[in-house]
Amino acid sequence: MIAGGLLGAGAAAWPGALVGVFSAALAVGLHDAWRRRRLLAWLRQLQIGGPKFSDADLSAIQPPQGSWVDEVVDRTLRLVKAQSRARQESQQRLQDMLAAIQASPNGVVLLDPEGRIEWCNQTAAQHLGLDVTRDLRQYVANLIRDSAFGAYAAAGDFNADVLVAGRASTPSRPVRLSLQLHPYGQGRRLLLSRDVTLIEQAEAMRRDFVANVSHEMRTPLTVLAGFVETLQTLDLPPQEVRRYLDLMATQSQRMQALVSDLLTLSRLEGSPLPGLSESFPVQALMTQCELDASALSSQMGRAQHRFEFDLQGAADLIGVASELQSAFSNLVSNAVRYTPAAGQIQVTWRLLPDGGGEFAVQDSGPGIAAEHLPRLTERFYRVDRSRSRDSGGTGLGLAIVKHVLQRHGASLKIDSVIGQGSRFAVVLPAARVRPLNVLPVSSQPAEAPAMMTS
């Protein structure tokens, strides 16, 4: 302005100076206005880009320049960059959290105050049959149609969960879900879903098991108590007393057998898996089976059973001897128990081409109808209750066999035809069988007879 004034004064004395000062002020004002406009336009561009600006985007928008403008631009840029970074970090945190919820084995549904779905993870979608995109903003009550859930949501008491059938549930493969609502934020709710099918099944099995054990115990106890009362109240002749005491002994043996089998099962459940360090000759197991079989057969008054024990290929078995002995003996004792007098029982051990081994018990007993076969190894499952009880069975024998075999990586094959007998075969994997390079036992009758008939 001073320069304008001096120039104007030089040209036309004081009026010129006035004009000069005025023109210079106008020029400065116009220039400032132009810079303000550019600054505003630049700020507007920043606003449009907003927090999504990356550092590269920011430097792509050319900022205006000029003395005071530089400072404004610099401060604004720093502010925008800091804000943008904070926004990106919080976006990343949100994404990480959602990814963590996605990875959760539980279903998670976020609901707005009106009960509409804001977000849900894949697990919840699978549990409840939701579509993670299509069903957003839908009322959850319209999508989960189970009346138990409707009542639960309406009652408003979310301290406990509610059990509903899963979307994939069918009568043959039921799926049970536990749903629980958790209020959070301002009127929002979190719906958690958990697949409790296995827990429910285990609980049902535990209940059945306790009921079965109680029932099995009560029957002999009732009989025993009846006899005790009779002996206490009636003055019976010694012969009758003897008969009663024999019957009582049978009942107490039944209870003992049951308790012993229960203890075996719980020991199997509680002990560590069999290692690969212990080994023993399969011949020893066969010999023990033979002894047990003839003892049981005579005890049952069925000494006429024809036994055949055949050991084809000597081998050492790797695992827990007492467990495998119990499994093998159980199969042999079943054959003895269920095969009528004069029946034939064939017990064979042979090596398999894949390096494994097979222990098989074939009998000429009554056979088992096909529909029972898949359930035979269930605890307390019997084809014929009274026959099992009469023969002193506890209903736990094959459950023990199955457990022992599972622990050794072995399997049980059952073939049976009604009226033609049954064949129970244990197939041991190669890892549990070490063949011995000796002549088959059947050619060394002096050491251990391969065939035995009793």
Ligand X SMILES: Nc1ncnc2c1ncn2[C@@H]1O[C@H](COP(=O)(O)OP(=O)(O)O)[C@@H](O)[C@H]1O
Q: Which residues bind ligand X (CB under 6 A)?
A: 334-335, 338, 363, 365-366, 368, 376, 381-384, 388, 393-399, 422
Q: Minimum Å distance from CB 295 to Mg ion? A: 15
Give residues with Cβ within 8 angstroms of 221, minimum separation 6: 251, 255
Residue 397 binds Mg ion (CB under 5 A) = yes
User: DSSP assignment of 370-410, as one string?
Assistant: GGGGGGTTSTT--SSHHHHHHTT--S-HHHHHHHHHHHTT-
Of 53 and 380, which CB lies nearer to ligand X in the complex structure?
380
Binding partner selected for residue 283 from ligand X, Mg ion, none, CB under the kind-specific 5 to 8 Å limit: none
Interface with Mg ion, residue 365, by CB under 5 A: no
Q: Is 329 in the site for Mg ion (CB under 5 A)?
A: no
Q: Which does 139 bind (CB under 5 to 8 A by kind): Mg ion, ligand X, none?
A: none
Separation CA 104–CA 123 (nearest Å): 8
108: partner contacted, choices Mg ion, ligand X, none (Cβ within 5-8 A by kind): none
Rounded Cα distance between 42 and 64, Å, is: 7
**CB neighbour burial string for 99-126, b if at least 16 within 10 angstroms, e if fewer:** eebeeeeebbbbbbeebbbeebbebbbb
Q: What is the distance between the alpha carbons of residues 395 and 313, in angstroms, rounded to a whole number? A: 33
Q: Which does 363 bind (CB under 5 to 8 A by kind): Mg ion, ligand X, none?
A: ligand X
Least gap, CB of 322 to ligand X (angstroms): 18
Report the partner that residue 382 touches, choosing among ligand X, Mg ion, none (CB closer than 5 to 8 A by kind).
Answer: ligand X
Question: Of 123, 334, 339, 348, which one interacts with Mg ion (CB under 5 A)?
Answer: 334
Q: How far apart are CA 283 and CA 441, in angstroms?
A: 8
Q: Is residue 393 close enough to count as binding Mg ion by CB under 5 A?
A: yes
Contact segment (CB under 5 A) with Mg ion among 7-15, 183-191, 211-219, 392-400 equals 392-400
Residue 176 forms beta bridges with which residues?
165
Nearer Cβ to Mg ion, position 83 or 253? 253
CB of 109 to Mg ion, least distance (A): 50
Part in contact with Mg ion (CB under 5 A); list of ranges 48-56, 68-76, 142-150, 330-338: 330-338
Nearest to 452 by CA among 287, 324, 285, 283: 287
Residue 243 CA to its chain's centroid (Å): 53
Which residue's CB is nearer to ligand X, number 24 or number 332?
A: 332
Element (DSSP H or E) covering residue 263: helix 238-270
Which residues in this chain contact Mg ion in the complex, by CB under 5 A?
Answer: 334, 393, 397
